[in-house]
Amino acid sequence: MKPADEFRLMELCERYADEKLSAAEVTALEAELRADAEARAFFAKALHQRAELCFDDSWHAAMSATPAPDAGHAEPARPAPLRTPWWRYGITAAAAACVTFALVWLPGLRDGTVATLVRAQQCQWAGSSLPTVEGARLKPGMLDLMEGLAVIRFDSGAELVLEAPATVEVMDGMNCKLRRGTLVAEVPPQAKGFSIDTKDAKVIDWGTKFGLSAGEDGKYLVQVMEGLVEVDDKSGAQSKKLEKGQRVDHGWSQKQMHPSAGDDDDAEPSRWQPSIVMDAGDGWRAITTAFGRGKDSYIQSSDKAPHDFGTHPFFRVKHSRDTKPDLNRKGYIAFDLSQFSGRQIEDAELVLTIEPSELGFASFVPDSTFAVYGVLDESQDAWEESGLTWQQAPAHDPLQPERNLPLAAKVKLLGKFEIAQGINRGTRKLRGKDLADFLSADTNQIATLIICRETNETQDSGLVHAFATKENGTRSAPMLRVKLR
């Protein structure tokens, strides 16, 4: 800890003990001490020293003093040096401990709060009943996260990372309910027994780190990274204990791998996907993959992967760790350029719409870089959505070492874009001369692009990014905007 930080904490200690801190300053101090073990230890030491200095032992000194000798008596023997009794140290230590306890725990007991929102990264909130400002103390209530990552630290020590979109209900210091979405929980030894409810299951943590995904339809996934958890299925099935590397998947992955399956009574109205060339103004024209011979799909590096990716409402992209080579994914999109034949393309812009994939954990994927490549061999533009597989795809070798990228000799890099950690909505645009030149060089009136993620996950089961396709009923399909001369 820096000297400046120590001086600041010493000053806060004095002002706190003298009851001169404002309510806002007390809240900020509480949040800092909960988050920083070094600061917490220093503050406790400062309180202890203050208790020592303020301890009044004059009454003890008076009781221990030896009376002055009479003039007619011989000089008395020299008294033994006074030694501080053991109970003095006990009192001062107890005083410091009590003050520390009052600072960290009593505010929650006094005002009903049970947790703290310690971090809010790129967050957008919906109908939350609790405060959503970073550092806010939380009472029992609802948090509805639409965008970003949020970290909740319960007073018991349990910590949750919410990954949007997610809705969680804070119950008390040892219990919460995940109504929908994904979270990663880390529970220290002192919080063993911390539990998370879902519609159809209850997960009890016995000191570990695990991920949990759940839907309002009752489907859920529990995956253990460290330690031990117990999963109690509310259907009456026998509870299961999971250790590191184990998981229980109650229909969650099946739902995500086949997103078009099932009826959704709460689905948004279908979006019209334009199958025409649109005039975007100022000389710009726009098409989507829904126009003409346009198409969009993706491939996954697994022989067991489904072959219906072309029917999905989004294409998925992932760079997977070497321990999970079968989980790499690359997106393929193609645009019909027939309406621009014989015209010079002066400028061009690709627009992709980010879609929540709800597959994998965003906590394990940092800010990510994506690369867009153009396929050079026009004979490979004839791929079909229904026939695109890991074994047969443009600019691709199923045995290539870099599974997340295309074959370098068969593509041209057109540009890159970024998606920050936790972001699952919005659009990303790629514009520039390389894209315009690639499209201008086309001779067969169709252009194939490959979208790859360069950034790797930090742990297994990292997030799979997704982008809307022409099959999506609520988001815009991949769009190409061109400016003609």
pLDDT digits (tens, 9 = 90+) for 295-324: 999 999 986 666 788 899 999 999 998 888
The Cα–Cα gap between 160 and 481 comes to 42
Determine contact, residues 350/425, Cβ cutoff 8 Å.
no
Residue 137 phi/psi, 5-degree rounding, is -80, 140
Run of H or E including 201: strand 201-205
Mapped onto helix, strand or coil, the DSSP state of residue 381 is helix
The Cα–Cα gap between 86 and 83 comes to 9
Region of 89 (left: φ > 0; alpha: ψ -120 to 50; beta: rest) is alpha
Q: Which of 44-48, 84-88, 144-148, 315-319 has the lowest mean pLDDT?
A: 84-88
Mean pLDDT, range 75-93, rounded to an integer: 48
Is residue 70's pLDDT more than 80?
A: no
Residues forming a β-bridge with 353:
427
Please report, as a single letter, which amino acid is at residue 444: N
Q: Which of 106-115, 196-205, 301-310, 420-429 has the lowest mean pLDDT?
A: 106-115
Amino acid 266: pLDDT: 45
The Cα–Cα gap between 177 and 192 comes to 17
Q: Which of 45-54, 153-162, 431-440, 444-453 has the lowest mean pLDDT?
A: 45-54
Amino acid 260: pLDDT: 55
Q: What percent of the chain has pLDDT over 90?
A: 57
**Three-state secondary structure readout of 7-73:** HHHHHHHHHHHCCCCCHHHHHHHHHHHHHCHHHHHHHHHHHHHHHHHHCCCHHHHHHHCCCCCCCCC
Instruction: Give the Å distances, CA to CA, from 258 to 252, 265, 409, 442.
Output: 10, 17, 34, 35
Is residue 271's pLDDT more than 70?
A: no
Determine contact, residues 320/457, Cβ cutoff 8 Å.
yes
Q: Which of 43-47, 119-123, 332-336, 474-478 has the lowest mean pLDDT?
A: 43-47
Determine contact, residues 431/350, Cβ cutoff 8 Å.
yes
Amino acid 103: pLDDT: 47
Q: Which of 4-18, 172-186, 391-405, 421-435 has the lowest mean pLDDT?
A: 4-18
240-250: per-residue pLDDT in tens?
999 998 999 98
Mean pLDDT of the chain: 84
Amino acid 15: pLDDT: 84
Name, of 125-129, 249-253, 393-397, the range with top average pLDDT.
393-397
371-413: per-residue pLDDT in tens?
999 999 999 999 999 899 999 999 999 998 899 999 999 999 9
pLDDT band at 277 (very low <50, low <70, confident <90, very high): confident
The Cα–Cα gap between 319 and 330 comes to 9
Is residue 76's pLDDT more than 80?
A: no
Mean pLDDT, range 447-471, rounded to an integer: 95
pLDDT band at 75 (very low <50, low <70, confident <90, very high): very low
- The span from the first CA to the last CA of the chain, in angstroms, equals 62
Amino acid 7: pLDDT: 73
Name, of 57-66, 148-157, 302-311, the range with top average pLDDT.
148-157
Determine contact, residues 260/306, Cβ cutoff 8 Å.
no
Amino acid 253: pLDDT: 73
